[in-house]
Structure 1
């Protein structure tokens, strides 16, 4: 009996698939390394070891330390935008859509402390690394379009005031969440209360929603 062979394409991944998988491992490892050690303390050697890949291939797939940092930031931004896309804001009423967006943003900051750490570091460096990104503006453009659509529809039906900048509104939404999670340890000490508790976090989320929605009321 002649043995039947299976074409290589059905038993093994293509070079592009393998490269994508390797890049994913590298970015996951880099995120862990940067979150734990910051920009200054992170080491490419450790990232390569975490990703189980040699440094030569790491440089080939992503690049040097700065390229790794920028790629990780872009990856987190992209995941944030993907989550917002799944909200299907275009199908929601303006009020419901805005509330969903605010809550998603709040919870993303809560669930990704590594993102907060990287933002703190990148702002300390005055975004010198992020300026090398070719994608970050394109990543954010769909969000601003979605917010503008909510604002326009809300104004037309009388739910929202007019003359609201979607960029300024987003900065306010992000700030109200970012500040809380990046400063809750000091604030907990100042006010002698655990702002990291479940109840305190829920109270804060509801407060952020009502602050933003209150501003938008006509």
Structure 2
């Protein structure tokens, strides 16, 4: 269960938004410039194994964990995981995180909705090797009306940090491949059900 509280009132949040933005209607053109998010803190009983996780810009979210095994096909000629495959591990973790919340990708596709990666900032710190069991940790750092930012990390069995990434994801109307607001029911799930984790 996610326990949440608002850090600031809507009036305080609106005060930080330029006056011309207060009356600006949401549209597909401003998907990546939607103004300040309404910070909400999520308190959990989890112990954060990395200083990178936890509070970030006033937001604290529950960490999702996914264990995966490194197969031979994941490695390169040097016997270590090929760098691009970390992106696949991160993608699997985000998908399973959505599934754990009751959101299936095929149901989104049926609604002509898809999440696409807009930007990735990834840092490789140490190699993963064949047959190792890895743990991918994921959390939402920022949630807006039509986009979100994930922080993700991959650890080996010795709890060594191998790779980290900040992933910006946008919601699009699939048939048009244009930016679109995240469906309200999905947004409610992502925000922990309080319905007030963002502002325009």
Question: Which TM-score applies when normalising by structure 1?
Answer: 0.24
Greater C-alpha Rg? 1
Instruction: With a CA cutoff of 8 Å and minimum separation of 6, indicate the structure with the bigger relative contact order.
Output: 2
Indicate the structure with greater helix content. Answer: 1
Indicate the structure with greater strand content. Answer: 2
